[in-house]
Structure 1
C-alpha cells in the first residue's frame, strides 16, 4: 500500500497486524508451530496469519483446524484427491471435507502438529493452499466443462492457471498481493451459461466478440446461422460484485473488452489499483465496489489503464451468455467423439476420506484420472468412453452421489454452518438435507428449484443467487433466542443473472418447513403428493 493510502486510513486491528508482519511470513515458522502446539502459539499468528497459508483456526473445534486448497478451475487429479483422502483418514471421525461454492475443497479436523508433513504431501502432488484466506485473492473459478463442452467459446483452464501463478508466484506465495484491503474473487468463463456466477465476483471475464460478424452456433441443437465475417474473441469485464454482512452488489460493466492474452495483465492491474487505493479504515467498506463508488467508474478504469500502460478497448455491445444455467448433473457427451462426462450430485458438498478414495478410483478406472468440481458443490468425472458407461453407472457410489437426484436435492447448496464455523448463527448442512427430504416427501415438482442455505450474513452459501435463499439469524420464539432464517427470493443465474432480495425476516427454523412448502406451491408450481395421487385416480 502507498504512503498516501496509509495516511488516509486510521489503521484498524487487521491493518495493524498486517503492518507488523506479513501473513506470508508464517510460512517459515510452520515447523516451530508444529513443535509448540496450537495453545502456545501467538494468538495473531494462530487466529489470523495462518490463513495466508490456507490454515484456519476454528474456536468451535479448538485444536482442529480447517485447510482450504487452491484448485484453479476446480480441476484436480486422482493422485491429488487420494492425498487429500489420506490426510483426512488419519483424523477418523473428526476428518471431513467440503466442496465449496468456489470450486475448491476445504479439509476439517487438521492438527497443527501435522502441518509440516501435510505441506510436504501437497507439494509432492502439486497442491497448494497458499493465499486462500483473509485479504487475498480466493480460488479462481472457471468453466467446469472447459475443454469438454461441444459448444464452448474458450477453454479457460490454462488462463485460470496463469492468473493463479501470477498472483501466488506459482504456489510459493507472492508478497505483491498478500496485503489487499479485503478478500477478492476472480472468475473467468468461456461458455454460454455463466457457470461461474460472474455477477458475484469482484472481477469477472465473460465471453464477447468484437469486430465483424461470425457464425453463431445455435443453442442446444439449433442449426448454425452463417454470418458475414469472423469476429475477434475476447472478454467483457465486470467489476465490483460481492456479498457481505453490510452490503450485497452485483458486478457492473467496466466498459472494457480484452483479448485472452491480456487477461493476466488486467487482473494484476486491477489488484494493484485496489491494493494501493482500496478503503482500509472500515473493513465493512473495504471491498472493491466501495472504491468504485468513491472514485466513479471512469477514474477507476483510467487507473487500471495506467497500471497496464495501455488503453482498454470499449466493451463489446453484448456478451455471449445466452443460455440458462446448467448444473452438469447426469451423463453428457463431450466434444471428443466417444467420450462422456458424468456429473455426480454430492449432497451439500460433504466428503469423507473413503468418498475421496472412491471418487479417485472411479476417475482412474473409467476416466483419465481427472476430477472436476462445480460451484454447486458437485463433482464431474470426464473422459469416460461410451463402452464403459454401463459399468460406471452400476457403481455403488452412485447410490449416494446420484446422477438423478430429486428436484430439491439437486438444487441444494449449503455453507459449512455452525457445526464447524464460528461465524455461522445456525446449523445448515444437516438441517438443509433434513428439510429438503421432508419437502420432497410432501410435494411433487414440475420445475427445478434452487435452494441455498447460508449460516450468516457473510453469505458463503450465496442465498442471493438462489430461487429461494435462506440466511441464518437469531430470532425470538416463546421468549427465547432460537435459530432462524431470513428468506430471499428471485435470484437468477445464467442468462440475465441478477441478485434476489429479502422477502421476509426472522422465521424460526422449527417453523420453516410449512413456510417453504407454501412458497414452493405458490411460486414454483409444486403440488402436494396426495393431491396429485387423487387427481391421477380421478
Structure 2
C-alpha cells in the first residue's frame, strides 16, 4: 500500500507548483491546499513551518558551498525585509536556509535569486540535496582534484540548469552526493548516498566510490565501498545518473523509514547492485583502487592559510552554530569584496571562508570589527560546535538546540580548560540534521519523563571520527535531562578529552551553572 507521500507525488508532481506560485502568493498561506503547502512547495525549496505560521523557510542550492559577495548582498537584503523574524543558517551540507519569508513575497524573491545566479529548486523532499565538496577546492596547495567543475556539471544535470528536472524529482527518498578532492575527507564521505574520494589506480588519479551512507530515525549506516573507480570526468556524471535511475526505478517506496539507497542495496545485495550499475554504463566499471588518498586528519579551515596561488590567502571565520542575520550577510559580502575577490565558501561545520585575500590586505581584514564576533581562533568547544535548527524554527525538533548549544559550551569553558577542540554536535530529533554520529560527543534531542513530568533531554553518542579512518559513533546513554547534562559533560570531558577544572578566581569563585534563556 502506498504511503501518503507517494500518493501525493502520484497525484501531482512536486515541480508542478512552479506554475502556481503567483496564485499562492495572491491567496495567502492559509488558503493554499494542504498537500501543496506542506509538501509540494518543498520541491521548490519552500518550507511551511507550523511553529512560525505565515513565515516560510527557503532552502537554497549552493553547490560546493561557493557564493559571491553579490549573492550575499542579495540574501542579506531579502532577510532584512523581515526584521527580527529574518535570519539565515549555514547547514551541514554547505548550504543556506533563510527564514521569516512570506509567501506573498516569494515570486519577487525568486526573481532576485535567479538574477544573481541562485536557485532553491529541488532542495527538499525526495530529491538530490545540495552537492558538497572540499571548501578549499581550487585553492588548496596540496589538493589532488579540483572538484568544482564536476559539482557544477552534476548540479546542472540533476536540476536541468536550475529549471527543475522531472527525471530526478520523484526519488523514493532524499539523496546526498559528495565529491572529495583533498586528503582529509572534508565532506564526511561516509554519510552520503554516493561519495567520490581520490585514489590512484595503476598510477592514474581518479575516485573510489562509496554508496549507501545515511542517517534516519530508523537506522544510521556508513557508506560502503562499491568496488568501483572512475576517472574525474564525464564518468562521474554517468555513474551518478546510473545510480539515481536505479534508485528511482527500483528503490523501496512503501515505508518512508526504509526508503534510502542502502535499503535497495540490502535488498539486492552489493554484488547485484554493482552489476546493475555497470550494465547502465557505456564504459567498463573498473574495480576500486586498493587504497584511497584520505590520509590526513580532518581540518576545520579556521584561521589564515596560504593558497596555491602565490601571494593569496584564504581566511576561515567561525560562525557560532551557523546563525547569520541580515547585517551579517551584508557585512560579510562587503569584506569579501573589499579584501578578496568577492568569493566565499561555506563549510559542513557551518563556518565561512573568505578566499583570494592578498598578503597586504590581511592586516586590514583581521582588524575588521565583525571578526570580533566571527573570529579566526575561537575557543576549543565553540570552535567545533555544530547544531541543527532546533525547536525554535523546526517542528520536527524535540528540543531547542542552537541557543542551548551556545550556552552549554560557554558554561563548560568557564568551568574547564581544554588543550584541544572537542567536536560536540547537537541535533533536535532522530532525523540527525546536526549529525551527532560523526562527533566526538553527539547529543540528540528527546523528551524525558522525570517525577511525572516531561522535560527536555538528550541521548548521548560517543566515538564518531571524521577524516581518515572515519567511523560513526554510537548511542551510549539515553534520556539525559538537559538540566543534568552539564555535570555529565564536565565529567566526560575530564575523563576522555583531558580537560582540567579551572582554578577559582575572583571573577569565577565557583563552577558556573548553565542558564538557558
Bin the TM-score by the shorter chain.
Answer: over 0.9
Q: CA deviation at 1:319?
A: 0.4
Q: CA deviation at 1:311?
A: 2.6
Q: After the TM superposition, which residues 286-365 of structure 1 pair with which residues of structure 2 at under 5 Å, given as runs?
A: 286-365=259-338
- Among 127, 149, 160, which residue is 1:136 paired with? 127
Is the counterpart of residue 37 in structure 1 residue 28 in structure 2? yes
Whole-angstrom distance in 1 between the partners of 2:53 and 2:279: 47
The corresponding residue for 2:80 is 89
The corresponding residue for 2:205 is 233
Q: Which moved more, 1:377-386 or 1:307-316?
A: 307-316
- Among 348, 354, 364, which residue is 1:381 paired with? 354
Whole-angstrom distance in 1 between the partners of 2:449 and 2:474: 23
- Among 72, 76, 80, which residue is 2:63 paired with? 72
Structure 2 unaligned residues grouped into runs of 5+: 507-517
The corresponding residue for 2:477 is 504
Is the counterpart of residue 246 in structure 1 residue 242 in structure 2? no
Structure 1 unaligned residues grouped into runs of 5+: 1-9, 212-230, 534-538
Q: After the TM superposition, which residues 401-420 of structure 1 pair with which residues of structure 2 at under 5 Å, given as runs?
A: 401-420=374-393
Is the counterpart of residue 471 in structure 1 residue 444 in structure 2? yes
Deviation by residue 1:166-200 (Cα, 9 ceiling, x = unmatched) = 00000000000000000000000000000000000
Whole-angstrom distance in 2 between the partners of 1:312 and 1:518: 50
Q: CA deviation at 1:453?
A: 0.1
Q: CA deviation at 1:309?
A: 3.2
The corresponding residue for 2:489 is 516
Whole-angstrom distance in 2 between the partners of 1:167 and 1:153: 25
Is the counterpart of residue 177 in structure 1 residue 159 in structure 2? no
The corresponding residue for 1:187 is 178
Across the aligned residues of Structure 1 and Structure 2, the Cα RMSD in angstroms comes to 1.0
Whole-angstrom distance in 1 between the partners of 2:505 and 2:126: 52
Q: After the TM superposition, which residues 415-430 of structure 1 pair with which residues of structure 2 at under 5 Å, given as runs?
A: 415-430=388-403
Q: CA deviation at 1:476?
A: 1.2
Deviation by residue 1:428-450 (Cα, 9 ceiling, x = unmatched) = 00000000000000100112200
The corresponding residue for 2:228 is 256
Is the counterpart of residue 276 in structure 1 residue 249 in structure 2? yes
Deviation by residue 1:109-168 (Cα, 9 ceiling, x = unmatched) = 000000110000011011000000000000000010001100000011111010110000
Whole-angstrom distance in 2 between the partners of 1:482 and 1:531: 32
Whole-angstrom distance in 2 between the partners of 1:271 and 1:480: 46
Whole-angstrom distance in 2 between the partners of 1:340 and 1:148: 9
TM-score (normalizing by structure 2): 0.97
Q: CA deviation at 1:531?
A: 7.8
3-state SS, counterpart of residue 280 of structure 2: helix
> Following TM superposition, where does structure 1 have runs of at least 4 consecutive aligned residues deviating by more than 4 angstroms?
none
Whole-angstrom distance in 2 between the partners of 1:512 and 1:483: 11
3-state SS, counterpart of residue 273 of structure 1: helix
Q: CA deviation at 1:310?
A: 3.3
- Among 13, 26, 49, which residue is 1:22 paired with? 13
Whole-angstrom distance in 2 between the partners of 1:532 and 1:389: 36
